[in-house]
């Protein structure tokens, strides 16, 4: 995780980057409530970056956090390296701080939350990416709350 001068009350956009679907979540204007946003359905990385930046601008985000799929031993496997390339391109495209947080098990947690909410399996798949981004956002905000 990157250390930034942000607080848990900063306006943050979270990204769950995927090959075909990218989930988004963000804090509200006060930086206190986290909400899932519509996902981006695209395989074009440049288009995904553009849409992420448009959303960050629209929501007046102060930072972007991207989930990094680390391996069980905490290293960058093939998938995490692919995501890190996306993060690097995103960092080059925006003056906003771009941080990463381990996204291990966020998809499972997202499906569990949706299931507990009574959502049927087929519908859960449509919302899981943005709920995963919400979990990423919560993890990052927890990191910001901890004393450094």
Tens of pLDDT, residues 75-103: 888 888 999 999 999 999 999 999 999 88
Q: What is the pLDDT of residues 51-61, one digit of tens each?
A: 999 999 999 99
Q: What is the pLDDT of residues 63-80, one digit of tens each?
A: 999 999 887 887 888 888
**H or E element, residue 7:** none
27-41 average pLDDT score: 91
How is residue 8 written in tokens?
């848990």
Model-level pTM greater than 0.85?
yes
DSSP 86-112: HHHHHHHH-SS-EEEEE-TTHHHHHHH
Q: Which residue has the tokens 């519908």?
A: 123
Local structure of residue 11 (DSSP, 8 states) = -
Confidence band of 1 (pLDDT split at 50, 70, 90): very low
Quote the pLDDT of residue 112: 79
The average confidence (pLDDT) of the chain is 87
Cα–Cα distance measured from residue 70 to residue 82, given in angstroms and rounded to the nearest whole number:
11
Residue 4 predicted with pLDDT over 70: no
Residue 2 predicted with pLDDT over 50: no
Strand order in the sheet with 98-102: 34-41, 21-27, 12-16, 63-68, 98-102
Quote the pLDDT of residue 125: 72
Local structure of residue 5 (DSSP, 8 states) = S
21-44 average pLDDT score: 93
Residue 127 predicted with pLDDT over 70: yes
5-13 average pLDDT score: 79
Residue 140 predicted with pLDDT over 50: yes
């Amino acid at each position: 995780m990157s250390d930034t001068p942000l607080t848990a009350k900063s306006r943050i956009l979270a990204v769950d980057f995927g090959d075909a679907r990218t989930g988004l979540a963000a804090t509200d204007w006060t930086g206190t409530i986290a909400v899932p946003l519509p996902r981006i359905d695209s395989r074009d990385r440049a288009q995904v970056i553009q849409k992420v930046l448009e959303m960050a601008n629209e929501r007046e985000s102060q930072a972007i956090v991207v989930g990094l799929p680390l391996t069980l031993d905490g290293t960058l496997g093939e998938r995490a390296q692919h995501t890190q390339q996306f993060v690097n391109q995103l960092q080059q495209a925006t003056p906003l701080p771009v941080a990463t947080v381990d996204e291990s098990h966020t998809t499972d947690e997202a499906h569990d939350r949706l299931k507990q909410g009574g959502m049927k399996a087929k519908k859960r798949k449509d919302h899981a990416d943005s709920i995963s981004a919400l979990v990423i956002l919560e993890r990052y905000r927890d990191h910001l709350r901890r004393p450094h």
